[in-house]
Structure 1
């Protein structure tokens, strides 16, 4: 039983790694909305078995990053304008509520990991390392909303943010957006330090607007 458990754990880890890699490529704009994800291509590229690739795609489907169509295959998820607005309305409600639930001011020892994460984000932006900036950004928001003691709300924030990978891809490579995100992250940190919950909520809500608006603009001209 112990051996079987170890095998299952390793298999689950491989699936998680493949899903994370594909999700990151979607968020970075390397895989585009409506792009087909061909199982044979992914098997060859990652040296993975078919059941692993299928499990990874099923994981991404559950997260809202991929859509699978019977007898057709898997595609990077695309959104209509209404779906984008609806999703971001929900994200606004969830993230504002989560930010409001954080007990402020946050003591320095609890803020230190957030500050360190933002320093890593600063360095990645300065080096124009999009992948590192993306990873630091994800870590920043995980730590930020993790300051709330409402675990159900934190998980809802994480899930709905994950659904927007393809939407956010339009701003990840934009220098002006990265600089704006950087400034807003530091503003969030200052609000937490100073106990200004209303400012924290305002900045968190404003932080969602660029990716939503960029995707809507793309739909309008496309």
Structure 2
């Protein structure tokens, strides 16, 4: 991992540390159960202790970090049941959202989504992990915003955020990255054609790879 933050001047704020550490978890650069040492984070992000502690608290609130009294902070790991429960809620939210999008989608909003996917394609082709994560996030935010239901979009974002460490299992896999890219284009085709069934079923299927990969890892690490 690179040292020091790339932009800005002066010590990093709590928000800066939160953003960068969250992205590292999403990229799979921080592993579930990995200990997050305050002194190391202060050095890495050029931040004061209060900023690091603020970031760890915020990431705990987001479901990405677990803090244990008198032990320290760790990237949160989920049990198989917790993963299934979270993804059951994600499916309810995201499938309902896909069902609620008014078709046909206005051309300018569809073009916005298509432009984001072109950036995602370029990032996948270049193996640019940060670009992949950022454009993937932008794609889903823009897709779900088509409902114009801010409360629903916020709930979807909250539960997607909780699964950063779960989804990081597939972040470095070319196979999974290409599958995600293809499914994004299937979603765009469904929106273009006004095909509600394809839209809903693709959104449902899109959740499965990261869930299943994490569950396989949990199973492999469990005692026989």
**1:91 maps to which residue?**
90
Aligned residue runs from structure 1 range 91-130, under 5 A: 91-130=90-129
Give the total of aligned pairs.
212
Q: Which has the higher helix share?
A: 1
> How far apart, CA to CA, are the structure 2 residues paired with 1:44 and 1:173?
26
Q: CA RMSD in A?
A: 1.5
Runs of 5+ in structure 2 lacking a partner?
1-9
Question: Which residue is equivalent to 2:5?
Answer: none
Query: Aligned partners of 1:102, 1:22: CA distance in 2, in Å?
Result: 33
| Cross-structure match for 1:32 | 31
Secondary structure of 1:48's counterpart equals: coil
Alpha-carbon distance in structure 2 between the residues aligned to 1:39 and 1:160: 26
How far is 1:124 from its partner? 0.6
Structure 1, gaps ≥5 residues long: 1-10
CA shift, 1:165, in A, is 0.6
Residues 1:160 and 2:163 aligned together: no
Kindly report structure 1 stretches of 4+ aligned residues shifted beyond 4 Å. none
Q: How does 1:51-62 map to 2 (within 5 A)?
A: 51-62=50-61
Q: Once the 2 structures are TM-superposed, how far is the Cα of residue 81 of structure 1 from its aligned partner?
A: 0.4
Whole-angstrom distance in 1 between the partners of 2:99 and 2:13: 37
Q: Secondary structure at the match of 1:78?
A: coil
- 1:8: which partner in 2? none
Checking the alignment, whether the CA contact within 8 Å between 1:107 and 1:193 is kept in structure 2 is no
SS at match of 2:147: coil
Residue number in structure 2 paired with 1:5: none
Counterparts of residues 7-26 of structure 1 (less than 5 Å): 14-26=13-25
- Between the aligned partners of 1:197 and 1:15, the Cα distance in structure 2 is 42
1:175 aligned residue:
174
Residue matched to 2:144: 145
1:155 Cα shift? 0.5
TM-score (norm 1): 0.92
SS of structure 2 residue aligned to 1:147 = helix
TM-score (norm 2): 0.92
- Report the CA distance between 1:14 and its aligned residue: 2.6
Q: Is the 8 A contact 1:115 1:189 kept in 2?
A: yes
- Distance in 2 separating the partners of 1:55 and 1:142: 26
With 159-168 and 148-157 compared, the bigger mean Cα shift is at 148-157
Secondary structure, counterpart of 1:74 in structure 2: strand
Alpha-carbon deviation of 1:174? 0.5
Once the two structures are overlaid, the 10-residue window that deviates more, 87-96 or 143-152, is 143-152
